[in-house]
Amino acid sequence: MADNQVIDAIGTSLDQLPADIPLYKRLKLAIEEAIQTQAFQSGSVLPGERVIATSLSLSRVTVRKALALLEEEGLLNRRHGFKTEIGSRVEKSLSTLTSFSEDIRARGQVPGCIWIAKQITRASSTEMMALGIAGNANVIRMKRVRTANGLPIALETSIVPVRFVPSPDLIGQSLYEVLEARGFMPERAIQRMRSRAATPEDADHLHCEAGSPLLVTERRCYLAEGQTVELCETRYKGDVYDFVFELQR
């Protein structure tokens, strides 16, 4: 989308907000409205501070404060030089068992992956216990960067017994599509969450700084009859992923 169309979308939202809200907060809300209504897509570049300020007759200080708030919430990424990119923040419900690809497509984005490793190996003793397999049983070990619209947002390691998927060559973008086609689609999962700081290796794969916050999930997926079909650890960038809980009395 051209800069003038983006500015027009922001200006329209800005004019509709109550005047008693501080101007920088109104601008923040107007830009957020444009992002949420997909006036421009994640990964696209927002017009610069000077362009926004001049076009909307605002001070650079006002624009800078609004952009800083949006960056804090993960809706903007200002790490690459002086460009300000629209973030790719994703909401993930914890009440349903869905794949990464399903989550990303549901939000109008294109899922993808960058393979780091995909091979048949022996499971560790911890993995054998978790998967309920014998010591001489092989597993497929997969490590990849998961992307949304080409932007890295998660680092995932999955382990699947070869009795469910006999060859890593069968797996393309989505493991769950292969499991479903073979009649081994997970029916339920147990998931644990924790936080940790990004290691230098994490930072290299996720294009973030070492020490940045990550949300880490450890998930065991089960078939209807109770067999463990997948053991998965996923490290999500903390500034692009929200986990949503629904609570009822």
The pLDDT tens digits of the residues spanning 212-242 come to 899 999 999 999 899 999 999 999 988 776 6
CB contact at 8 A, 104 and 150: no
Q: Would you kindly state where each structural domain of the chain is located, as residue ranges?
A: 3-86, 90-244
* Spatial separation of the C-alpha atoms in residues 131 and 140, rounded to whole Å: 12
β partners of residue 142 = 118, 158
Give the pLDDT score at 170: 93
Per-residue confidence (pLDDT) for residue 202, from 0 to 100: 95
Domains 3-86 and 90-244 agree in fold: no
Which regions of the chain are under pLDDT 70? Answer: 1-3, 35-44, 73-75, 77-96, 106-108, 241-249
What is the CATH class of 90-244?
A: alpha beta
Distance CA 128, CA 134 (A): 7
Q: How far apart are CA 249 and CA 238, in angstroms?
A: 29
Q: What is the rounded (10 degree) CA torsion for 248, 75, 113, 128?
A: -40
- The pTM of this model reads 0.64
Q: What is the pLDDT of residue 87?
A: 58
Residue 44: CB atoms within 10 Å: 13
157 in Cβ contact with 201 (< 8 Å): no
CATH of 3-86, one of 1.10.10.10, 3.30.428.10, 3.40.50.300, 3.40.309.10: 1.10.10.10
Exposure string (b/e) for 161-172, b if CB count within 10 Å is 16 or more?
beebbeebeebe
The 8-class DSSP code of residue 187 comes to -
The answer to whether residues 238 and 215 touch, using CB atoms and an 8 Å cutoff, is yes
